[in-house]
């Protein structure tokens, strides 16, 4: 069975700086994969490359075996890929529900079909129904992250890219957000989760890839990889944690 997503020798640059050096990964239907690594390891760059936010060669990114590298982000949405970006990037000055309706309109224009509706989203995150008419900037950080996740889901993705969704949030809020990921997967959406917290990444994924300086340094089933091996791959041999 072909992977929902695969990358093949993925190389990405920011100007003259090469950020990725031949990254190979794959994700299958209904699976959750975690990308871990320190700041600057290249995790977010992988997601940006997949989403079409960085120019890459067509054969470097494949959806169900078809080359899609470098196509525009709005076309990736029509292909069933959505992203929850680092920093959320909501539309300030607009209400919660208006932020969500932007995604509904975008999905309609792209011809994306699926089962995510406002009501279903409100069941997933009840606070968003209570805050539907509130300006999005008046929400707490955790509530804003729920809007960002909801906006991505309303694009009807078969693949959801989550970039640092725990960043800057209180532990209680992080637990609440990560608790909904199994329900999202149960709805038929595969996940790639970028995360710096190794324990959180392991608990939320079937498999993980560890990155260092733009390269994959370790991969395997999340429950099978020893913490010592992760420490070595995360920091490099000279910086391994005992």
Residue 44: exposed, middle, or buried by beta-carbon count in 10 A (0-12, 13-18, 19+)?
buried
Give per-residue pLDDT as tens, 125-144: 999 999 999 999 999 999 99
CB within 8 A of 207, min separation 6: which ones? 31, 33, 34, 219, 220, 221, 222
Structure tokens at 127: 């606070």
Give per-residue pLDDT as tens, 174-195: 999 999 999 999 988 999 999 9
Task: Give the model's pLDDT for residue 237.
Answer: 62
Task: Give the model's pLDDT for residue 112.
Answer: 73
Task: Give the model's pLDDT for residue 100.
Answer: 93
Pick 197 or 50 by higher pLDDT.
Answer: 50
Structure tokens at 66: 């078809």
The band of 1, judged by pLDDT with boundaries at 50, 70 and 90, is low
Domain ranges of the chain: 5-239
- CA–CA distance, 103 with 192 (Å, rounded to integer): 20
Exposure string (b/e) for 217-238, b if CB count within 10 Å is 16 or more? bbbeebeebeeeebbbbbbeee
Nearest 5°: phi and psi at 186? -65, -25
Q: What is the DSSP letter of 238?
A: G
CB within 8 A of 32, min separation 6: which ones? 181, 185, 190, 191, 192, 193, 204, 205, 206
Report whether pLDDT(161) > 50.
yes
Q: What angle do CA 220, 223, 227 make, to 5 degrees?
A: 80
Task: Give the model's pLDDT for residue 239.
Answer: 45
- The model carries a pTM of 0.90
- Out of 1.10.760.10, 3.40.50.300, 3.90.1150.10, 3.40.50.2300, which CATH number does the structure's domain 5-239 have? 3.40.50.300
């Amino acid at each position: 069975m072909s992977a929902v997503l695969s990358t093949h020798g993925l190389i990405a640059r920011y100007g003259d700086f090469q950020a990725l050096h031949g990254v190979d990964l794959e994700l299958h239907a209904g699976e959750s994969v975690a990308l871990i690594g320190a700041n600057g390891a290249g995790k977010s760059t992988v997601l940006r490359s997949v989403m079409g936010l960085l120019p890459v060669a067509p054969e470097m990114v494949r959806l169900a075996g078809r080359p899609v590298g470098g196509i525009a982000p709005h076309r990736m949405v029509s292909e069933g890929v959505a992203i929850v970006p680092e920093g959320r990037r909501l539309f300030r000055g607009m209400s919660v529900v208006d932020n969500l309706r932007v995604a509904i309109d975008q999905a309609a224009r792209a011809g994306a079909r699926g089962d995510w509706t406002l009501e279903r989203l409100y069941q997933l995150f009840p606070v968003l129904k209570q805050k539907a008419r509130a300006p999005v900037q008046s929400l707490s950080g955790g509530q804003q992250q729920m809007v960002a996740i909801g906006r991505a889901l309303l694009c009807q993705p078969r693949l959801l890219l989550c970039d640092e969704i725990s960043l800057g949030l209180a532990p209680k809020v992080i637990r609440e957000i990560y608790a909904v990921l199994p329900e999202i997967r149960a709805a038929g959406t595969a996940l790639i989760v970028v995360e710096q917290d190794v324990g959180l990444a392991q608990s939320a994924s079937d498999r993980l890839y560890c990155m260092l300086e733009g390269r994959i340094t370790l991969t395997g089933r999340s429950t099978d990889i020893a913490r010592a091996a992760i420490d070595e791959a995360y920091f490099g041999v000279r910086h391994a944690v005992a």
